[in-house]
């Protein structure tokens, strides 16, 4: 069977219900108690790269229960309920919660690996520019300015950019510009990642794999089979993850990672326990 046809179906099974309750309560706390007492909840429970001084192992799980906006939590929780309810009814509570957490962990690990590679790349490029500028290389200033532009590094005083464009041989001033990078680097390391999106993408991937011909209704009006909607959505996330546009604050590699882990896990379970799957 590759289309979902419910027999006995709980609209709100126990794990889905509790995940919704926990996420909503945490979101309310984020926007009431946490704000009132200025508690740095992101520093402790959001996910940070392991090179950051703020990183803690429990963040691999706790970041899944934090959300940044009403739209963020609504989108994740709606998708979790819509697709996760089907999977929990099919598998049972224990298997579903294992699946959900493993997808979230897989998403977080891929995100951290990619983030670590980006940070390592920034470090190497920065050290190369320092060496270039120290040797008074004629192209050092242009390379430094391009580095700042490419990484969308915003300066409080933009006049230094104009000055260096007109005075490219002032390597002392170019060196002072490079010193600004240390602040940007610290911000990059300490930027938190939050949300259940990685785990939810795993749930979506499993649903698409098990029920590829089930019709989904885009914007509640346009019917499209799950397999085409899933492929299009995954392709969209993969494209923008690879593109890695400056200013894109969506953890797209976490989405890709969650979908991959979810797909691999459901394929493995499907091979070893075919009676449980359709």
DSSP 142: H
Instruction: Return d(Cα 107, Cα 9) in angstroms, integer.
Output: 29
What is the per-residue pLDDT for 249? Answer: 59
* CATH fold label, 14-116+196-276: Rhomboid-like fold (1.20.1540)
Tell me which residue of 226, 238, 143, 136 sits closest to 181, measured CA to CA.
Answer: 143
What is the per-residue pLDDT for 5? Answer: 56
Place of tokens 């740095």: 40
pLDDT tens digits in sequence order for the chain, 278 residues long: 455 555 556 889 999 999 999 999 999 999 998 888 889 999 999 999 988 889 999 999 999 999 999 999 999 999 999 999 999 999 999 999 999 999 999 999 999 998 888 888 888 888 888 888 888 887 888 888 888 888 777 777 778 888 888 888 888 888 888 887 777 788 788 889 999 999 999 999 999 999 988 888 765 567 888 888 888 888 878 887 777 654 455 678 889 999 999 999 999 988 765 544 44
223 SS3 class? strand
> According to DSSP H, which parts of the chain are helical?
14-30, 33-37, 41-45, 59-62, 70-91, 93-134, 140-150, 159-166, 171-190, 197-210, 226-243, 252-272
Instruction: Return d(Cα 83, Cα 99) in angstroms, integer.
Output: 13
Contact 155, 183 (CB under 8 A): no
* Domain extents in the chain: 14-116+196-276, 120-190
CA neighbours closer than 13 Å in the CB half-sphere of residue 71: 0
Contact 4, 211 (CB under 8 A): yes
What is the per-residue pLDDT for 278? Answer: 40
Instruction: Return d(Cα 52, Cα 75) in angstroms, integer.
Output: 29
Instruction: Return d(Cα 91, Cα 275) in angstroms, integer.
Output: 11
What is the per-residue pLDDT for 149? Answer: 80
What is the per-residue pLDDT for 9? Answer: 66
For Cα atoms 146, 148, 150, give the angle at the middle one, nearest 5 degrees: 65
What is the per-residue pLDDT for 275? Answer: 45
CB environment 90-104: b (16+ within 10 A), e (fewer): bbeeebbbebbebbb
- Measured on CA atoms in the order 184, 190, 195, 198, is the torsion positive or negative? positive
Give me 49's structure tokens. Answer: 């790269």
């Amino acid at each position: 069977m590759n289309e979902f046809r419910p027999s006995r179906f709980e609209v709100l099974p126990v794990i889905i219900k509790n995940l919704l309750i926990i996420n909503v309560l945490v979101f309310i706390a984020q926007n009431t108690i946490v704000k009132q007492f200025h508690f740095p909840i992101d520093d402790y429970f959001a996910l940070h790269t392991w090179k950051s001084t703020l990183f803690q192992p429990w963040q691999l799980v706790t970041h899944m229960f934090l959300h940044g906006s009403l739209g963020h939590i609504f989108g994740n929780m709606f998708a979790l309920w819509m697709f996760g309810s089907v999977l929990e009814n099919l598998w049972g509570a224990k298997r579903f919660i294992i699946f959900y957490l493993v997808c979230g962990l897989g998403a977080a690990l891929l995100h951290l690996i990619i983030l670590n590679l980006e940070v390592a790349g920034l470090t190497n490029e920065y050290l190369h520019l320092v060496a270039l500028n120290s040797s008074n290389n004629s192209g050092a200033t242009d390379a430094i300015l391009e580095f700042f532009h490419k990484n969308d590094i915003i300066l409080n005083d933009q006049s230094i950019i104009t000055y260096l464009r007109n005075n490219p041989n002032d390597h002392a001033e170019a060196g002072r510009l490079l010193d600004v990078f240390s602040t940007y680097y610290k911000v990059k390391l300490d930027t938190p990642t939050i949300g259940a999106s990685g785990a939810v993408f795993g749930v979506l991937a499993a649903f698409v794999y098990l029920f590829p011909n089930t019709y989904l209704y885009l914007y509640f009006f346009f019917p499209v089979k799950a397999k085409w909607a899933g492929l299009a959505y995954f392709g969209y996330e993969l494209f923008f993850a690879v593109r890695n546009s400056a200013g894109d604050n969506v953890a797209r590699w976490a989405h890709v990672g969650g979908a991959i882990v979810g797909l691999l896990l459901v394929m493995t379970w499907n091979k070893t326990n075919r009676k449980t799957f359709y």
